[in-house]
Structure formats: C-alpha cells, structure tokens
Amino acid sequence: MSRRILTIAAAIATGTLSVAALAQSPDSARPRYLPEYTPSGELVLPKGYRDWVYVGSPLTPNALNDGKANFPEFHNVYIEPGSFAIYKKTGVFPEGTIFYKELQLTQKQENPDGSRTEPSGRGYFPGALNGADVTVKDSKRFAASHGWGYFNFHHYEPKAPTATVRPKAECAYCHIASAKRDDVWTQFYRVLDEVPPQGDKAK
C-alpha cells in the first residue's frame, strides 16, 4: 500500500476530513460549501463566491425610481455550485442553499435618467462595489421566514465579516409575496427559471 493511501486512510480513521468532504451530497458528486455561523448565530460572510454560478444582475437605478430605489445598484447574484447542481437535477433548492448578492453601484450619470454614454452606447455601467446581501435556505433555523434567512453585510464597503438574520418584515415578506419559486426570484434569472419544477421533469 502506498504512502498516499496510508495517509488518506489515517485521515479517515482520525476524522480529519475537510468540511467540504463532509458536506458531500448524495444527490451530486460535487462537494458543497455550506453556511458557517458564529457561536452566537451570526452568518459568516461566504468565501469564494466569485467562483460560484453567476445567475444574473437586475438593476433598479435611482433615476428611474424618483431617486428612492430600494436597491439602486446592480445585483450581481451567485448561487453556491453544489446547491445549483442539486437544483438542476431535482428542481428544488436543497437545504443549505446560499445565494450571494454582490451590490455594485452604477457609474456616475450623465443624463437625467441616470444613464451615461460609453463607446458601446448609452446605458448603465457597473462601478464601485457597495456591500452584499446573502440568503440561506434552512427550513428549521428560519421557519419563521418561510425557510429562508436574509442577511445584510452592509450596503457599503467594506463588507461586514458576519451578519445577523433580518426580520421577516424587512426582506422575507416581499419574497414570500412575489417571488416565483420557493421564495426565489427565478423569474428574473433565466438560468434558474429554465429548470423544471419538481414533478415536471417528464413534461
């Protein structure tokens, strides 16, 4: 038996396998990055989100919302890859799913509607980063908000290292009332919306 095999066997025997390996899903061969919490229950800012699956960037600029848009930035939304693999297979967001919403301001406006002109034409162009929001699925931990927890890591830079879950009236109510599938705005993200819901795979 080679030294490499002996080392792996020893790791298994002593329980020193990584968290990613322990998070291996029976529904997918891909390890998952699961939510991390502090002892007091705060969510730790997810790591490596730029390597996750990018799903879209909605934009509701201030200039098109009487100067009072709730989210005036680009919402660059990513989903944890292992969770996305399960979602594609089953049509259901698994427990532990993480969505990371990177907030990115538009560049300085040149026109009354908030747009500006660049070589590619007139439009809205991404500028400085402006904080992040994170959503986690955990039906038990967040039962009071329909199974999803919503976290604000500042709407400015630098991002907070940890965050407490937001009250249901602050975020969840809007998702519950208007999001298309399982409180997720799949209607705005083609890569999510094109996956058939559970039970529709044969249709």
Q: What is the pLDDT along the chain (203 residues), one digit of tens a residue?
A: 444 433 333 443 434 333 433 455 454 467 899 999 999 999 999 999 999 999 999 999 988 999 898 889 999 999 999 999 999 999 999 999 999 999 999 999 999 999 999 999 999 999 999 999 999 999 999 999 999 999 999 999 999 999 999 999 888 889 999 999 999 999 999 999 999 998 655 43
Question: Which residues neighbour 188 within 8 Å (Cβ) at sequence distance 6 or greater?
Answer: 56, 58
CB contact at 8 A, 94 and 134: no
| Matching residue, tokens 């931990």 | 141
Distance CA 120, CA 5 (A): 56
Angle at 156 between CA 150 and CA 161, to 5 degrees: 60
Distance CA 50, CA 183 (A): 23
Structure confidence at residue 9 (pLDDT): 39
Q: Which of 7, 79, 8, 94 is nearest to 46 (CA)?
A: 79
CB contact at 8 A, 89 and 27: yes
| Matching residue, tokens 């039962």 | 143
Q: For domain 18-193, give the fold.
A: Chalcone isomerase (3.50.70)
Single pTM value for the model: 0.82
Distance CA 3, CA 31 (A): 25
Q: Where are the domains of the chain?
A: 18-193
Type of residue found at 34? L
Burial class (CB in 10 A: 0-12, 13-18, 19+), 80: buried
Instruction: Please name the helix (run of DSSP H) or strand (run of DSSP E) that holds residue 19, with its range, or none.
Output: helix 19-22
